[in-house]
Amino acid sequence: MCYSNHNFRVAYDSLIPAMPDKNQWPDSDNGFFMHPPLLKSTAGRRQNERFKGCMEAGGSTTRRKGSHQCPICKNYGHRWYNCKNGDPADIAAMLAERGPPKKRRRRRKLSHHVRAPLCLLIQYLKQCIFHLANVHQLAENQTLSGLDMAQTNLSYFPSSTLSSL
C-alpha cells in the first residue's frame, strides 16, 4: 500500500528544507503560459451587490432601472404621447411615424350586476321545469289540444317574470 504508515515515515524521515522566498524556486520553461487554476465555487449563497437607485450614493445616474425613458425629452416617468416637455412638432412626427397609441382593454370581473340576471334566469328555468312536469302530468290524465297546450304554457307565467329578463 502506498498510503501506509511505513511509507509516510520513509517519505518524511529526512529533513525538508524550507523555502522562505520565491527566488529559490526553480525556473521552468514549458513553452506556453500556464494560467492559474479556475476557482471552485464555495458552499453557500453568493453575495451579490444589489442594484442601487439613481438617488443613492454610488448609484447609476445615466439609467434608472425599471423606468421608461421618453424618446422626445429624454426624461423618465412618462411615455412619448403624454410628453409635456417636448416640442409639439416632435410629438406630431412621432404620432405620424408610430401611429396613435393602442388602448388597453380592461378585463371586467363578474360583478353583482351580472350575477343578478343569472339568478333570475335560474329561477325562471326552475319554474319552467316545474310547469312542464305539471303539464305533462295533466296531459297524461286528459288529452289536450295544441291550442289549449299553448294557452296553458303562456297563462302560467306572469308577464313580470318574462319582462325582467
Predicted TM-score (pTM) of the model is 0.28
The pLDDT score that the predictor gives to residue 133 is 81
d(CA 38, CA 47): 19
Residue 76 phi/psi, 5-degree rounding, is -100, 155
The pLDDT score that the predictor gives to residue 110 is 60
The pLDDT score that the predictor gives to residue 71 is 87
d(CA 77, CA 68): 6
Q: Is residue 81 a contact partner of residue 91, using CB atoms and an 8 Å limit?
A: yes
d(CA 65, CA 52): 9
DSSP string computed for 59-100? --SS--TT-PBPTTT--BSS-GGG-SSS-HHHHHHHHHHH-S
Q: List per-block mean pLDDT (blocks of 10 residues) for the chain, which spans 165 residues.
A: 84 84 83 86 81 72 66 85 86 87 75 64 83 77 54 50 50
d(CA 124, CA 79): 51
CB atoms inside a 10 Å sphere around CB 70: 19
